[in-house]
Amino acid sequence: MEKVNIVMVGFGRVGQAFFDLLQSKYDYCRRRYGLFLEPRGIVRKKGSILLSSTQRVLSPSYFATDDLHDLAEWIPAITLADLLDEFGSGVLVECTPTDLKTGEPGLSHIKMALEKGWHVATASKGALVVQSSQLKSLAKEKNLLIKASGATAAALPALDLGLYSLAGAEILAIEAILNGTTNYILTRMAEGFTYKKALEEAQQKGIAEPDPSLDVEGWDTAAKIVLIANQVLGTDFNLGDVQVRGIQGISREVIEKARKLNKVLKLFGKCYREGSDSPWKIEVGLALLDDDHPLARINGTNKGIIFYTDTMGWVATSGGKSDPRGAAAAMLKDIISIYWRNT
């Protein structure tokens, strides 16, 4: 039995889902893994909350309110540094919004946590896209782990597969469908929709943002494949290294042509190299897949990734909820894997 201190920073949709999950899974994690996962504090932009263990059973909406000044537990003076110092060690759960240019504010939070001896589980991509190798060196030096399942494709176990299940094999190439919005649009277009109509439907369903550019121009896929490559292949890519082509304004004819060839079009993030000594290349763009390609049937908002290896052949994984609850579940998994050895 082990107590694990958890400090959260960021309390948007993913943060709230994580806090909710942590409470509902508290007893399960104690029974199954011998871990007491104790939320100790939540740092929001508008102020922070110190939790005593008796306060564990609180609804996320309680913290989500803007009117925190009315709450007794509301301690505006407490900073992230205070909380990390107070509890000494544990896991920082990073859920602040992603900034792909600066990596902030996640970058500063993650650095601070590592310097103070805390492991990190992050749902925020920015820091690992911008300063992957520096953060990895810092973690290694301190003998700590940075886990980023929640930042790549929510509950799709992309990093687990690359780092854990393929250990000992050399990865020759990676192909991945990592963006639900674009995959949904392409799926609907293969069913007969125009780009415009498919996008509108995705927006109505809350799948696509009102401004869908980050998704449809391929940048979300680019950030995720950069993160995966840096974690799994040990590269030091950033967004500027990726050749990015999105799907914006793609015509029905292109989709139809693919269908007539018995093929499908998918937006891929790809890593490959010419030979085992050549440098890795990374790109995002439409890929024309044979019908029996393992990712050809990943439809709708589903995601998938395939690794080609020297000794294991190809190994693919697909599925995994891609909503805030899926991302939260991925972070919980990461925390468990830091402490639990699967005996």
Q: Which residues bind a copy of itself (CB under 8 A)?
A: 21, 25, 28-29, 33, 136, 139-140, 143-145, 155-157, 160-161, 163-170, 292, 294, 296-297, 299, 306, 311-321, 325-326, 328-330, 332-333, 335-337, 340-343
Catalytic residue among 224, 266, 270, 303: 224
Comparing CA positions, the residue from 235, 259, 254, 21 lying closest to residue 133 is 235
216 versus 255: smaller Cβ distance to a copy of itself: 255
29 versus 247: smaller Cβ distance to a copy of itself: 29
> Does residue 90 contact residue 5 with C-beta atoms inside 8 Å?
yes
How far is CA 104 from each of CA 27, 97, 98, 100, 215, rounded to the nearest angstrom? 34, 8, 7, 8, 20
Q: How far is the CB of 266 from a copy of itself (least distance, A)?
A: 14
Q: For residue 20, which amino acid is it?
A: D
83 versus 159: smaller Cβ distance to a copy of itself: 159
292 three-class SS? coil
In sequence order, which residues have a C-beta less than 8 Å from that of residue 335 and are 6 or more positions away? 4, 6, 37, 91, 93, 119, 121, 147
In sequence order, which residues have a C-beta less than 8 Å from that of residue 192 and are 6 or more positions away? none
Q: How far is the CB of 248 from a copy of itself (least distance, A)?
A: 27
Q: How far is the CB of 43 from a copy of itself (least distance, A)?
A: 23
Joined together, the tokens standing for residue 239 give 């967004």
Q: How far is the CB of 276 from a copy of itself (least distance, A)?
A: 11
Joined together, the tokens standing for residue 219 give 């940048």
> Does residue 123 contact residue 152 with C-beta atoms inside 8 Å?
no
Q: How far is the CB of 49 from a copy of itself (least distance, A)?
A: 23
**224 is a catalytic site residue:** yes
> Does residue 124 contact residue 151 with C-beta atoms inside 8 Å?
yes
Joined together, the tokens standing for residue 249 give 């304004």
35 versus 49: smaller Cβ distance to a copy of itself: 35
Q: How far is the CB of 322 from a copy of itself (least distance, A)?
A: 8
For the chain, how far is it from start to end, CA to CA, in angstroms? 14
Joined together, the tokens standing for residue 54 give 């008796």
204 versus 311: smaller Cβ distance to a copy of itself: 311
71 versus 163: smaller Cβ distance to a copy of itself: 163
Torsion of CA 53, 10, 17, 159, to 10 degrees: -110
> Does residue 263 contact residue 190 with C-beta atoms inside 8 Å?
no
Joined together, the tokens standing for residue 198 give 């498919």
Joined together, the tokens standing for residue 295 give 């990712």
Q: Supply the residues annotated as catalytic.
A: 224
